[in-house]
Structure 1
Amino acid sequence: MNTRRQFLSQLGLATAGLGLSSMLPDTLLAAESAKKFTFEISLAEFSFASELYTGKMKNMDFPARAKTEFGISVLEYVSGFFNNKHTDQAYMKELKQRCDDLGMKNHLIMVDGENIASLDAAKRQKAVEAHYAWVEAAKYLGCTSIRVNWGDAMSALSGKGEEGSMEEVGKAAAEGYQKLCDFAAKAGLNVIVENHFGYSTDPDWLVSVMKQVKAKNKGFLPDFGNFCAERSKPATMDLKGIMATKCVKEYDKYDGVQKMMPYAKGISAKTHKFGPDGEDVDTDFIRIFKIIKASGWTGGYVGIEYEGGLMRDLGGDTSYLPNADGIKATKKLLEKVQKELA
């Protein structure tokens, strides 16, 4: 069973043209325009967060639900839902067998663990080493990557903020991340970083840290919904109070995604609510995918991460769609993007 700390951690982790075309040869422009923009749709396990937290669904159920209910064969797991069984050989063997039987592709494990950006060198090293088992678990399942964080989720949730300045945390993050990338490289895995909470909601800070790291397996997982740098204080310190908070300081997501794209090794298409036309109310999908397309990124995975069901089932707000309906609505939007921007 997840602890309250794990639950809150998961919940909190739930936020220039220069006119050069006239100078380019027509043949080059024709070649560029002929390239097809394409991506494969994957499914993030956090889309079922409300069911997983309440025990209505188990981590082991994820592959079958993705395939049979949504026709999706690429999976993005969340570490907390393994309930520390990622080192249990029998458990992992059964999970892998289920995936193999269904013809699933295990792509990513989103790891929310100890802080690899801690200013305390001993704690930072311990955190890096604590991620090793997740690298090994991802390798066993056939994943391409694990996703990690630069910062302490609990500090961000409690309102304490980061433990040091942006420069200090950035230096520590680069050091811890470099060590983890070096370890994962031996297993042939990428270690990617998401804009998530605290300083990592700032795309300029993210890029400045990434530039300090020398590794071919480094990269970003740009998330459409995690550029909120500051939220209002909850009226009550229970689940409904926390989920009712509003973002009071947010970086521009379109600018943020554009800055992260040169290092992107995946995309997290986060959604919460949809309008009568089926469009996401928070993100203009065509606009943001035009930015992604213009970056030259193609052929990767775009993960559906629907969080509205969490707001509905555990927050009590029935204006959000249930998990299954929200996943389907997001998939429909991504299929529209594939068709219009191909």
Structure 2
Amino acid sequence: MSTLAVSSFSLHRILGPLHLERQTADGGFEEFELPLPREHSLEEFAVLVRDRLGVTAVELCQIQFDSSSQPRAEALASALKASGVRVLTVPIDIGDLAGGSDSARERDMARIERWFAVAHRLGARYVRVNTGSPVSGGTAEDRSGLIASLRALAVTAERDGMRLLVENHGGPDSHPDFLLGLRAEVGPEHLGILLDLGNFEPVATIGHARLTGKSFDEAGVDREPVYEHIARLAPVADLVHAKAYDPASDGSPLLDLDRALGIVAASGYEGSISVEWEGIEGDPWTRTAETVAAVRAAFPNLA
């Protein structure tokens, strides 16, 4: 059944620190924390989504968990069951499946699979991983490690009743050709596409700059390619992120969400949609509620 969900990232300003990682010179990763206030736990977030927004499904981002331990997953799963809220998807933002050595990819796959276990315990329908940056050159040989990694991760996800997704999530993987090529090479029966309406260039770079407090000159920026890319991926998408931003500096929509949702609806898309408010102005609950209303208007049959 197609479902409307709300991503925990919509409330990232009040759900506590973000647990991120960056690549080191030796090809490994080091963790770092972006400190943010915690007004609510993930358990409380789920209940508030139900009570304030009338939505009973959530997307829980791995970077907002404080632990991947089994006791933490068990406690969260029990709380979600008691509240009547279910997990639609868990986006996982660790590792680099495209670059580095075979041993580095194997290490990253093992770390990702530990989060698969968390997602499975929470009853998630989807798990999303990052592709990393494609190896320089972009030939079939260059991508063999990435393809092999995705195939192996798909087997693990399928074993636990989940579907593996990749997303237009910045960089080369934000171009439809790249994602469609991966889907074809891994096999559409094993790998799906998460279409994020707001993660195509130039909108993605502008949105990221705002989140990190950097300036970006929006004057004359052509945003039409965003809608062209949405039209290409919508017919084959497994899941959609309805992402919303603050307006552009001239007051126009940075992303015209109504237009984007209209393109998705016109494609015949009948899957689930997860709301992701990514602005920095105003009350995040109010902004998320406005985004939920926009999705409901475009897709009135979502559960």
Counterpart mapping for 1:284-299 below 5 A: 284-298=256-270
Could you tell me which amino acid in structure 2 is paired with residue 260 of structure 1? L
Match of 1:16 in 2: none
Deviations along 1:114-145, one digit per CA (max 9) or x if unpaired, are 11122422211221221111111111111101
Q: Give the whole-Å Cα distance in 2 for the aligned partners of 1:226 and 1:188.
A: 27
Number of residue pairs the alignment of both structures matches: 274
Could you tell me which amino acid in structure 2 is paired with residue 55 of structure 1? P
Match of 2:37 in 1: 55
Is 2:46 aligned against 1:73? no
Match of 1:155 in 2: none
Q: Give the whole-Å Cα distance in 1 for the aligned partners of 2:189 and 2:252.
A: 34
Q: Give the whole-Å Cα distance in 1 for the aligned partners of 2:275 and 2:262.
A: 18
Match of 1:145 in 2: 126
Q: Give the whole-Å Cα distance in 2 for the aligned partners of 1:231 and 1:338.
A: 28
Give the structure with the higher percent helix: 1
Q: Give the whole-Å Cα distance in 1 for the aligned partners of 2:258 and 2:216.
A: 28
Counterpart mapping for 1:192-271 below 5 A: 192-214=165-187, 216-228=189-201, 231=205, 239-241=212-214, 244-245=215-216, 252-271=225-244
- Structure 2 residue aligned with 1:101, among 74, 82, 89? 82
Identity %: 22
Match of 1:132 in 2: 113
Could you tell me which amino acid in structure 2 is paired with residue 130 of structure 1? R
Task: Report if the CA contact (8 A) 1:269-1:304 is conserved.
Answer: yes
Is 2:150 aligned against 1:177? yes
- Structure 1: segments with no counterpart, 5+ residues: 1-37, 153-161, 312-319
Match of 1:159 in 2: none
Q: Give the whole-Å Cα distance in 2 for the aligned partners of 1:81 and 1:284.
A: 28
Deviations along 1:262-307, one digit per CA (max 9) or x if unpaired, are 43111000001269xxx99233344333332343321x22111001
Structure 1 residues 100 and 119: CA distance shift in structure 2, 3 A = same
Deviations along 1:96-122, one digit per CA (max 9) or x if unpaired, are 111111111111101001111224222
- Structure 2 residue aligned with 1:324, among 285, 292, 300? 285
CA RMSD of aligned residues (A): 3.0
Q: Give the whole-Å Cα distance in 2 for the aligned partners of 1:217 and 1:107.
A: 18
Q: Give the whole-Å Cα distance in 2 for the aligned partners of 1:280 and 1:70.
A: 26
Deviations along 1:54-80, one digit per CA (max 9) or x if unpaired, are 232333322112112211111101101
Task: Report if the CA contact (8 A) 1:222-1:260 is conserved.
Answer: yes
For normalisation by structure 1, the TM-score amounts to 0.72
Task: Report if the CA contact (8 A) 2:43-2:80 is conserved.
Answer: no
Post-superposition offset of 1:196: 0.7
- Structure 2 residue aligned with 1:121, among 95, 102, 112? 102
For normalisation by structure 2, the TM-score amounts to 0.80
Q: Give the whole-Å Cα distance in 1 for the aligned partners of 2:161 and 2:107.
A: 22
Structure 1 residues 133 and 250: CA distance shift in structure 2, 3 A = farther
SS in 2 for 1:146: strand
Task: Report if the CA contact (8 A) 1:111-1:134 is conserved.
Answer: yes
Structure 1 residues 135 and 339: CA distance shift in structure 2, 3 A = closer
Deviations along 1:144-166, one digit per CA (max 9) or x if unpaired, are 011111115xxxxxxxxx65233
Is 2:288 aligned against 1:333? no
